[in-house]
Amino acid sequence: MKNLSEKIFNTLSGEKAKETTTDICNYYRSFGSAGYHAATNLVVNKLQEIGINDVKITKYPLDGKYTKLNQKMPLAWEPYSASLSINNPIQEEIVNFSDSPSCLAWWSVPTNEGGETRKLVDVGFGENKIDFLNKDIKNNYVFVKGTEIPDGWRHAAINAMELGARGIITDYLFYPTHPYRTRTSVPDAVQLLRLPNQFGKYKAWGCSINYNSSKRLQQLLKLGDVYVNADIQCKIFEGEGVNIEATIKGSKYPDECVMFIAHTSAGTRPGANCAAGPSLMLEIARTIKYLIEDKVIKEPLRSIKFLFVAEGKGSNVYIHDNLENIKNVKTVFCFDSVGHHQEKLNSNLMFYKHPDSSPSFINDYFIDIIDKIPKDSSWVFKDDNDISSIKFLPAPYTVWSDNHTWAAFGIPSPLIMSWPDKYFHTQLLTPDNTDPRVFKHCGIATTLAALEIASVNIEEAYRISNIIFNYSIFRINKIKINFLDKLAEYKKSNLNINKNNINYYIKKINYLAKIDINAIKSLNELLDKNEINEFKNVIKDFKNKIDYIKNENINYLKSYF
């Protein structure tokens, strides 16, 4: 185990992943745009350089009609330029695309060349009908004040466009994280937005501006009429999405695979968060290819696949087209911002778990992997590299990227990304905010896990069952500790804990035990028929052990009835 992780450590280069991230960040990568295709071609060329020849390319229309998994594909969209200026009562530029490519909302519609000057109407948050009442919205521009709810932007934009607004200016900053990412702590940040116009219904554009420009505009709007010139050049059109599926074939079960997925699309330029995913995937592909070719490791039993997609849409296409055999995908590691510089961005590398609706071995197994991989510092009294300067933390299931589509099909689909993200989807998220050490740390953990899962046999399944069992005992006992904490709180307040309170803890213990037993059972997906038969006894044994711990704790809680 340690041997394999050390081999990966000696081969995988965080610097290479950062270099590729920097290259990809040169392109604006909205769905179907020239930059998106350039980034996708860059990936294809790198795969050729690495020597991975098993590459399947699937193209699909981004035309607002083509449907996969019951979802229509959006139209493609390409930005060229954007400039907003106050014309009256003063003359002053508010924002431009050259300095802040994140200013122009996806699926905006262009103005006339040279721009259009219209009145700007303040609609507050734009969430309620009353915000628009008796205001001259039709054929004018509106200013929407940002809130802390990202969905509020979408709702306000629809309200405005339904009333005929031709442009929307806003100072939204999504996902604020106090104190690092707030409107006042990152005043220059310009948030990438998506106009809810992916099917081209409205003739409007959206632009976000920074905090200082927003304050300026709001002051002027309070004083009287404000006129803004908007020169927006972009294209909404029928384009194309591309899936790149690269495969390192497995020796025994080539049709089964462990997959990595990331997107060559991105919210904006530079978009170092999104670019990090495909870049690390290429480095992992190079590492595995090298280790196999140089006979440092054996070929894994199952294939290792690398799927490069347009975020979300590519998964819909892949799953739809492979629905009958989708269970052959044994785990999907979904990458997003896997290289964030943790000190610069106040960030952590996060392992967002697979959801409980389809209990999986992956959650506890991967926590164990994070614990085991080589680290960069040592305990003061031993030279053993057991302390990591890179924070890599587990957190509950998070709906964010392609992971949620895969999870819905019961495929173990951990999401690896960085959070908090000080510059998330703004022009400030440049590649110099990534860190080779973080790429490497993430790369080692996921490569090791992928190679192990790809070669799981009954012995390995037994080892993983023990890991799950170990964490299960911890979790169940932790509920009892939570109960004792609550009991102490009640006693301090001279209150008695009631039966309902106790029942809550009992139910939670039952819930956890059931999830954990099913997580062990999920290892059956990695075994052949004979092994499954043999593994039945292992499952039974662990079920008995977990039930024993469960009952012991429940009986203790019941003693307080």
Partner 1 sequence: MIININHIPIKIILNISPPGLAGIDFLEKKKLISEMQKEDPKIIYDTMRPVGDEFWNHIDGIKTLKTIAENICFQFDLLLNHEHFLKIAEGLYKSKYIDFK
What is the binding site for partner 1 (CB under 8 A)?
69-71, 127-128, 148-152, 154-155, 175, 312, 316, 319-320, 323, 355-358, 396-399, 404-405, 407-409, 507-508, 511-512
Q: Which residues of 106-135 are buried (b: 16+ CB within 10 A; e: fewer)?
A: bbbbbbeeebbebebbbbebbbeeebbeee
User: Alpha carbon of 104 to those of 77, 186, 206, 289: distances in Å?
Assistant: 11, 19, 6, 40
Choose between 511 and 561: whose C-beta lies nearer to partner 1. Answer: 511
CA-based nearest residue to 214, from 180, 231, 191, 181: 191
Using an 8 Å Cβ cutoff, are 42 and 474 in contact? no
Choose between 64 and 150: whose C-beta lies nearer to partner 1. Answer: 150
Runs of H (alpha helix) within 244-356: 272-293, 313-321, 342-345
Chain centroid, CA 520 distance in Å: 26
Helices 458-492 & 499-521 angle (0-180, nearest 10) = 170
Write down the residue that tokens 């213990």 correspond to.
Answer: 509
Q: Is the peptide bond before 89 cis (omega within 30 degrees of 0)?
A: yes
Using an 8 Å Cβ cutoff, are 479 and 552 in contact? no
CA-based nearest residue to 426, from 250, 269, 298, 550: 269
Choose between 100 and 316: whose C-beta lies nearer to partner 1. Answer: 316
Choose between 27 and 202: whose C-beta lies nearer to partner 1. Answer: 202
> What's the min distance (Å) between Cβ of 264 and partner 1?
20
Using an 8 Å Cβ cutoff, are 169 and 120 in contact? yes
Choose between 279 and 403: whose C-beta lies nearer to partner 1. Answer: 403
Spatial distance between the Cα atoms of 153 and 144, rounded to a whole number of angstroms: 8
Write down the residue that tokens 């006339």 correspond to.
Answer: 112
Choose between 345 and 512: whose C-beta lies nearer to partner 1. Answer: 512
Choose between 103 and 144: whose C-beta lies nearer to partner 1. Answer: 144
> What's the min distance (Å) between Cβ of 57 and partner 1?
23
Helices 272-293 & 34-50 angle (0-180, nearest 10) = 20
> What's the min distance (Å) between Cβ of 81 and partner 1?
32
Choose between 39 and 192: whose C-beta lies nearer to partner 1. Answer: 192
Q: At 228, list the tokens.
A: 């803004």
> What's the min distance (Å) between Cβ of 160 and partner 1?
13
> What's the min distance (Å) between Cβ of 154 and partner 1?
8
Spatial distance between the Cα atoms of 74 and 288, rounded to a whole number of angstroms: 35
> What's the min distance (Å) between Cβ of 317 and partner 1?
12
Angle at 242 between CA 238 and CA 248, to 5 degrees: 175
Choose between 72 and 289: whose C-beta lies nearer to partner 1. Answer: 72
Using an 8 Å Cβ cutoff, are 89 and 226 in contact? yes
Choose between 12 and 509: whose C-beta lies nearer to partner 1. Answer: 509
Check the CA dihedral 254-530-5-394 and report its sign.
Answer: positive
Helices 436-454 & 2-11 angle (0-180, nearest 10) = 140
> What's the min distance (Å) between Cβ of 27 and partner 1?
27
Choose between 127 and 256: whose C-beta lies nearer to partner 1. Answer: 127
DSSP for residue 63: B
CA-based nearest residue to 209, from 86, 96, 79: 96
